Amino acid sequence: MSDELIRLSAAALGAKIAAGEVSSVEATRAHLDRIAAVDGAVHAFLHVEGERAIETAAEIDRQRAAGAALGPLAGVPIAIKDVLVTKGMPSTSGSRILEGWIPPYDATPVTKVREAGMIPLGKTNMDEFAMGSSTEHSAYGPTHNPWDLDRIPGGSGGGSAASVAAFEAPLALGSDTGGSIRQPAHVTGTVGVKPTYGAVSRYGSIALASSLDQIGPVTRNVLDAALLHDVIAGHDPLDSTSIPETWPSMAEAVRRADVSGLRIGVIKELDGEGFQAGVRQRFHEALELLEQQGAEIVEVSAPHFEYAIAAYYLILPAEASSNLAKFDSVRFGLRASLDGGGTVEQVMSATREAGFGPEVKRRIILGTYALSAGYYDAYYGSAQKVRTLVQRDFDAAFAGVDVLASPTAPTTAFKFGEKLADPVSMYLNDIATIPANLAGVPGISVPAGLAPEDGLPVGIQFLAPAREDARLYNVGGALEQLLEARWGGPLLAQAPDLSVHELTATEEGAL
Amino acid sequence: MSEITAEQVAHLANLARIALTDEEIEHLTTELGQIMHAVEQVSAVATPEVPPTSHPIPMQNVFRDDVVGDSVLSVDEALSGAPESDGSRFKVSAILGEEQ
């Protein structure tokens, strides 16, 4: 029973709870049991709510018994990326500098999932302050990919993706600044969506780069992502960059998925050199399937995408160096103690030296450099111009097609340590995902299969014009249906049994 | 564009209030040089006629009346995460050093 419950989709679990076939307490307990069984090997969670989650679930069960009108995900457990602040739950953003901090308020997306009756299971691991593509930059140790525990789960949101891939949670919240929702989805065989910039409130999201960050769903299938998207999207007066927009139901877009006549543009620059053969193979097979259903596939060019990474690694550190100034040892988090007390500046510098990891220091120094007098125009100013050029590429492409498609990332999951010593090669992971953040457009990654050469998951990414998030759910939902018919079920059904892996990992001392 | 020196990194670390060790400064000097070399290509296409974009979705500044909102933290809540407080205010160490 318990194993059956954790393998249900969020939609199916919500329906069972609504029908009274299973209680929220039972569903929550099943997931907590699963976390206890496998998270030693996966390490998706930095904090688990435990009995407090059971109490929350019991409250939802009571409301239901009393006849309250509850939504489709009421009673369903959810994992929350540690970048979102949570009242009464530790929130570290993967950093030592926030170790032990219990925020006094909830981020807006957390408020919304609580209002929808969902049960927070805990906080998921991430690269420190979301800086990374592998979770290897988490101050609390990496998360392991459920498909192969020796490999990265993607990043920065590797914890959220691994938690749903390992059936520890039916769905999760993530944040995507340059691909931190979509790239983990790609390497773990799960679904991840970066909504249009401003569609979901950033209030209470510990900011990395404010003009790029966006909160979104992390799930095992497209309908679950749509249901969660419908819960968290909407204008929030507490976030001045939140868009005052009325959104159509994303869940409806999935249920009515139909790609006949849909024009799909394949981005030429993201379909060649540097992309693994098996990644490209599954990508093109997926496109063929869509074509057979009546979609029209055309090649489009985005000539400035090759400059997107460079622009991103100037804009992001610049914004991050400013955002992370708030970690000053005064209002929250760590404070280093110095002999003789020291001045406030000395304490601040010692605290930040002790509390930040190497990647965070690297990017703060890089951002400080890019913003400094004499270099500002050449670096930050030029990067902002590239941003304009990337947006123009999108505008030109979307003039002729409804959605764009590319592989989500160049390779399947790599092994721990493989790219740690070379920051530039680590940054190249995000080549296909970064342009969407620079332009604010929405993107989805959907499983496309396993690469033949290594048997690891591959994702396909679709991008739509700003505010047209529903198009992603239409094409993603349609493709998922076609692929699952071919596979005879979800891709994750082919993932290895974690209990076996857990043993192996322990025997090898990999924990 | 320009080579990065250890002195520059030390200066940047001071501006960013991070007490880097000499070893970290040495390491970062090399790495920053490599990263800057990789990102300098932005200048190749950032010609004068291209306007800069700072925000992905065009929007106006958002104002509201300057009144106390609904979800305001109490003093206790605001101080709850502080490393040190006197019960009603954040407490910090000396602002000025002896030489000042």
Domain ranges of chain A: 2-259+408-510
pLDDT at position A1: 58
* Residues in chain B closer than 8 A to A86 (CB atoms): none
Low-confidence residues of chain A, pLDDT below 70?
Answer: 1, 500-511
**Catalytic residues of A, which ones?**
81, 156, 180
Half-sphere exposure (CA, 13 Å, Cβ side) for A14?
22
Element housing A173 (H / E): strand A171-176
Closest by Cβ to B13, choosing from A365, A385, A389:
A365
* Chain B residues with beta carbon closer than 8 angstroms to that of A335: 83-84
The CATH superfamily of A2-259+408-510 is: Amidase signature (AS) domain (3.90.1300.10)
Residues in chain A: 511
Query: Does B90 contact A321 at a Cβ distance shorter than 8 Å?
Result: no
CA distance B82 to chain A (A): 5
Of B34, B45, B97, the CB nearest to A424: B34
| pLDDT at residue B2, as a whole number | 61
- Which pLDDT score, from 0 to 100, does residue A153 have? 98
Q: How is residue A275 written in tokens?
A: 């992309």
A chain contacts of residue B84, beta-carbon cutoff 8 Å: 335
Residue B98 bridge partners (DSSP): none
Residue of B nearest to A422 (CA): B31
pLDDT of residue A133: 94
Gap between the Cα atoms of A19 and A12, Å rounded: 10
A77-81 and A263-267: which strand pairing?
unpaired
DSSP code of residue A402: S
Q: What is the separation of C-alpha A196 from the centre of its chain, rounded to a whole number of angstroms? A: 14
Integer Cα distance of A24 and A63 in angstroms: 11
Cβ-defined contact of A334 to B8 (cutoff 8 Å): no
ipTM of the complex: 0.94
Q: What is the pLDDT of residue B100?
A: 58
The per-residue pLDDT for range A124-136, each reduced to its tens digit, is 999 999 999 999 9
Mind telling me how many Å the CA of B70 is from chain A's nearest CA? 11
Instruction: Mark yes or no for CB contact A313/B35 under 8 Å.
Output: yes
Cβ contact B90–A331 (<8 Å): yes
Mean pLDDT of B29-41: 90
Is there a contact between A372 and B83 if contact means CB atoms under 8 Å apart? no
Which tokens hold the place of A73? 């995900």
Sheet with strand A214-219: strands edge to edge: A45-48, A119-124, A77-81, A171-176, A214-219, A191-194, A443-450, A457-463, A403-407, A263-267, A296-300
> A352 and B9 in contact by Cβ < 8 A?
no
- A141 closest CA partner among A41, A43, A37: A43
Task: For residue B27, give how far its alpha carbon lies from the nearest alpha carbon of chain A (Å).
Answer: 10
Instruction: Output the CA torsion sign for B64, B66, B71, B76.
Output: positive
pTM: 0.96
The whole-angstrom separation of Cα A199 and Cα A193 is 12
Question: In Å, what is the CA distance from A442 to each residue of A132, A193, A269, A387?
Answer: 20, 8, 19, 16
* Residues of chain A neighbouring B73 (CB-CB closer than 8 A): 104-105
Q: Residue A385 and residue B41: Cβ atoms within 8 Å?
A: no
For residue A328, the distance in angstroms to the closest alpha carbon of chain B comes to 9
pLDDT for the residue numbered A500: 54
How far lies A323's CA from each of A6, A84, A455, A467, B79, in Å?
A: 38, 15, 40, 27, 20
Q: Is the dihedral of CA A275, A281, A286, A287 positive or negative?
A: positive
Helices then strands, each counted (H, E), chain B: 4, 0
Counts for chain A of helices (H) and strands (E), in that order: 18, 11
